């Protein structure tokens, strides 16, 4: 499958790095559009403060970058509607700027030659929101041209919640993500429309907004409006944590809950969800490819109330799920 990347920031680069490590993938990146020049793109791809130095040869020239001799043309077009994506024979575009969420703008990718757009953000105007492990099998190539893969947090929360709901029937609950800071925050105090995000990201725990409450209803419709979500930004560069508390229809023990997760990790959610019985901390989960890793030592119950902690590398695991979704889209038996 031939994929174009629009936006080569944290997610765009992590996606490409993950592709380079995936020997089984048939996804080929054919063009990158970014506001930065090739020199900067090559440097940031090679040297990453979170994931280390890429152990591959990376070079650049005025027309693009090359990795292990494989050249990728790079554009710097502020208006992606002006790009002839079909001219690059792109089957799909990864929209990873986080800025193009309106349908009118997203449709220009299709009108300019791509068959599908996959958005690495929540979008109210996408044809469908897909999350691997929850509803990826509902993909319909005849009707789903503009696809949202929600957020990294929803990709952790949804499968974690689904296991509890499938086994014990969830009635309602709360979810809080303790989330690593992102580029939308300020390094030092400075202007921002969100006055909390205006504060120095590395010095405080910062309450923030999250749209996960609305997105969960698209993935698990019967729980729409029943899970209230909040976020706290933490002074770490990667790896986040979902603290999920729900009320279930039956009285439960900690062992029952952990066993349900272990069964899912071994079967229906293998590769998506994992369970850890080790006393680990966030840095230990850096570059973990699972959407959610249940911290079994932190699972608690009180009657029908259940509390779990789920770790996730908010960049790397999400990038791996983008690959999963592109592979699903590109399956020849699903091509319209």
φ/ψ of 203, rounded to 5, equals -115, -10
Max CA distance (Å), the chain: 64
In terms of Cβ atoms closer than 10 Å to its own Cβ (0-12, 13-18, 19+), residue 183 is exposed
* CATH architecture group of domain 2-121: 3-Layer(aba) Sandwich (3.40)
pLDDT at 269: 99
- CATH assignment, 152-314: 3.30.360.10
H/E stretch holding 300? strand 300-302
User: Does 2-121 match 152-314 in CATH topology?
Assistant: no
pLDDT at 333: 55
As annotated, the active-site residues are 152
CA distance 174 to 248: 12
pLDDT at 11: 97
What digits encode the pLDDT tens for the residues 77-130?
999 999 999 999 999 999 999 888 889 999 999 999 999 999 999 999 999 999
Parse the chain into domains and list their residue ranges. 2-121, 152-314
Q: Which residues of the chain have a pLDDT value below 70? A: 332-336
pLDDT at 334: 56
CA distance 164 to 257: 8
What digits encode the pLDDT tens for the residues 278-289?
999 999 999 999
């Amino acid at each position: 499958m031939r994929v174009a990347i629009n936006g080569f920031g944290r997610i765009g680069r992590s996606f490409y790095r993950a592709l380079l490590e995936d020997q089984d993938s048939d996804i080929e990146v054919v063009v990158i559009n970014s506001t930065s020049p090739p020199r900067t793109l090559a440097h940031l791809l090679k040297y990453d403060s979170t994931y280390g130095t890429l152990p591959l040869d990376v070079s650049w020239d005025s027309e693009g970058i090359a990795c292990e001799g494989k050249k990728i043309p790079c554009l710097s077009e502020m208006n992606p509607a002006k790009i002839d994506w079909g001219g690059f024979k792109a089957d799909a575009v990864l929209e990873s700027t986080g800025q193009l969420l309106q349908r009118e703008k997203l449709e220009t990718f299709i009108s300019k030659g791509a068959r599908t757009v996959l958005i690495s953000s929540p979008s109210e105007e996408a044809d469908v929101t897909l999350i691997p492990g929850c509803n990826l099998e509902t993909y319909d190539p005849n009707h789903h041209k503009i696809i949202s893969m929600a957020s990294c947090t929803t990709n952790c929360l949804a499968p974690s919640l689904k296991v509890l709901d499938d086994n014990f029937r969830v009635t309602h609950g709360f979810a809080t993500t303790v989330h690593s800071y992102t580029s939308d925050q300020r390094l030092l105090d400075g202007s921002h429309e969100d006055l909390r995000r205006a504060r120095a990201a590395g010095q405080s725990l910062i309450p923030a907004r999250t749209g996960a409450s609305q997105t969960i209803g698209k993935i698990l419709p019967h729980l729409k409006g029943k899970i209230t979500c909040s976020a706290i930004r933490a002074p770490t560069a990667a790896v986040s944590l979902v603290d999920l508390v729900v009320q279930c229809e039956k009285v439960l023990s900690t062992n029952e809950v952990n066993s349900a997760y272990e069964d899912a990790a071994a079967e229906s959610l293998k590769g998506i969800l994992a369970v850890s019985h080790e006393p680990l901390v966030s840095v230990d989960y850096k570059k973990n490819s699972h959407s959610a890793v249940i911290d079994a030592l932190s699972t608690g119950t009180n009657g029908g109330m259940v509390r779990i902690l789920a770790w996730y590398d908010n960049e790397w695991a999400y990038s791996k799920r983008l690959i999963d979704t592109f592979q699903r889209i590109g399956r020849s038996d699903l091509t319209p």
